[in-house]
Structures are given as C-alpha cells and as structure tokens.
Structure 1
Amino acid sequence: METPEDRFFGELGGAYAEIRQAFARHVGMSAPRLRVLMRLWRDGETSHSDLRRILSLDGASVTRLIKEFEAEGLVSRRIDPADNRYTLANLTPAGAQAAAELARSHQAYQVRLLDGVTAEEQETVLRALTRVCANVDRIERDPQGR
C-alpha cells in the first residue's frame, strides 16, 4: 500500500526526471550532453575526472561526449600541466556562445513550466524542499535519531 510519503517522494522524483528530460528534448540534445556543456560553462576548465564525479557519469561517457564536442568545435582539450595523467576540457568561444544560448532558452522554458503556479505556491514548495534537505543532513549526522 502506498503511503503519503511514498507518493510525495515518487511524485518529486518523477517530476524532477521529467523536467530534466523534457528540456533536453525541447532543445534537441541528450541530457548528458546538456549537463556536460552547461557544467563547463559554469565552472570553466575542468578535468574529465571531475566531470565524471560531479555529473555521476562513467569515464567512457565523459570522454566520448568531450570528443564529440571537440569535433563540433565547442570544446578544446589539453593535458593538465600540473599532472599529465589528467585531461582538461574547456569551452571554445563557440561553445561558450552555445551554452549561453542554452541558458537563455532554459530560463524561458522555466518561466513556461511555472505558468499558473503562483509565487506563493513556489515558496511553499521551496520551504518544503529546504526542510527535507535539512532533515537529510540531520539524519546523516545522527542516523539513529538520538
């Protein structure tokens, strides 16, 4: 039997997954490609290893995506001068422009997603999510609830 908690977290997870996939479909780019491109835009030059860890992607996927972006002229790669075991990826000017356009498109898409959702409703959801995240932190600090 589904509990209210099951329904809450099921709906929350489902909504998050659907929103991420829907925007990727909207812009015609896979979600992993989108995530890598936007992470490089936000963080600047980043190692493949850090991208793998931050985005929870396997190393082969990160390498493949970076090589695809490089072939498209959106990313450049170089060996990390501080440690030649690592490869660094960075957006080219064309990549930065593409990412900036995606960010603008994402903002407009978010406005459309929130159509009919009042500011008060948005604040209520934000308060609930903030409380849930605080509870996660509390539970991780004290798993036995003492």
Structure 2
Amino acid sequence: MQNTEYVDRIGRYIGVLHRSAQKYINRRMQPFGFTSSDHWFLIHISKNEGINQRSLARMLSIDEAAVTRAVKKLIDGGFVLRKKDPEDMRSFSLHLTKRGHEAIPILIQTFQDWDEILLKGFCAEELISLRTQLKRITENAVAAVGEVR
C-alpha cells in the first residue's frame, strides 16, 4: 500500500466521523453536563429500566469498571438512580430520574439532527446502499475483534 492510499483509507474517514459526532454531541449536551461517552449508557438504561450494571456491561461489551464509572457520573449528575434489586439484594437496578427522562428526547433529537447534517444531499437509493455497506463494514469489524452486539 502506498502512502497516499494509506492516508485515504476508509478507517480514517470513519475516525473523523466519530470524532466529529463526539464534538457535536458534546456541544449539544453541554447544558446537561454530560458528554458523548455518557449518552450511550443513558439511552440503554432508558430502554432497559431496572437493568443492573453487570447486564449493562454485557449488553454494551464494555468492562464492568467502565460501566461503574459512567453510571457514577450519571448518578452524580442526577440522571440515574441505583436501587436495591428486590430479586437479588447484592445487586442494584438502574433507573432514570426525572432529569434523565427529560434528557432522552433531547438526545434523540440531537442524533436526528446529526443524521440530517451527515445525509444532506443523498438520494434514497444512495442511503440504502450506504446503510448496507456500513452494516457490512461493521459486521466485519465486530467479527475481527470478536465482539458480540
């Protein structure tokens, strides 16, 4: 592979997209006091009210220590509550607070706005092809590193 080909590799574009999305989300979520890395946990807790941290870690393919840090930040920010799990008193279930529930529609709108920015000028046929290709790229990446999603 020549240097010019390496500089123009697909992974570079994906990296730029990822960093740009983080900056955009961070800017939009700044009034709530959380960042692009926090939103993922908040969204999954909202979809799985009562989930425990171990199950959340498995669902996201992230180590439990990272989940513990993220959940603590969301608790400290007033977005999430930890409650004793009545079925397993050694475990805690995670629930959104009023503030957490208020953040979800803003997060969703932020993602929709970001998609509109990214997809401006694409026709329906191009979007179908792009989604199909990105799905295949993602499946290849997940298979290569052995993650389960």
Task: Settle same-fold status: TM greater than 0.5.
Answer: yes
Residues of 1 paired with 2:17 and 2:55: CA distance? 25
Partner of 1:48: 53
Structure 2 gaps of 5+ residues are 27-33, 144-149
Q: Does 1:80 align with 2:78?
A: no
Compute the displacement of 1:88 (Å): 1.1
Q: What SS class does the counterpart of residue 112 from structure 1 fall into?
A: helix
SS in 2 for 1:40: helix
CA distance in 2: counterparts of 1:16 and 1:83, whole angstroms: 41
Instruction: Give the unaligned 5+ runs of structure 1.
Output: 140-146
Preserved CA contact (<8 Å) 1:52 1:58: yes
Which amino acid is 1:45 matched to? G
Q: How does 1:47-126 map to 2 (within 5 A)?
A: 47-126=52-131
User: Which consecutive aligned stretches of 4+ in structure 1 deviate over 6 angstroms post-superposition?
Assistant: none
Q: Is the 8 A contact 1:76 1:92 kept in 2?
A: yes
Does residue 27 (structure 1) correspond to residue 31 (structure 2)? The answer is no
CA RMSD of aligned residues (A): 2.7
Higher relative contact order (CA 8 A, sep 6+): 2
Aligned residues: 129
Q: Is the 8 A contact 1:70 1:76 kept in 2?
A: yes
The residue type paired with residue 84 of structure 1 is M
Relative to the length of structure 1, the TM-score reads 0.72
Q: Distance in 2 between matches of 1:44 and 1:75?
A: 10
Shift in alpha-carbon separation, 1:18–1:91, aligned structure 2, 3 A? farther
State the shift of 1:24 in Å. Answer: 2.5
Letter in 1 for 2:117: R
Alpha-carbon distance, 1:107 to partner = 0.5
Deviations 1:25-72 (A, max 9, x none): 212144431110111122222110111111122212211211121121
Identity of aligned residues (%): 26
> TM-score with structure 2 length normalisation?
0.71
Matched-pair contact (CA < 8 Å) for 1:80–1:87: yes
Contact 1:33–1:65 (Cα < 8 Å) also in 2: yes
Whose Rg is larger?
Answer: 1
Distance in 2 of aligned mates of 1:32 and 1:118: 31
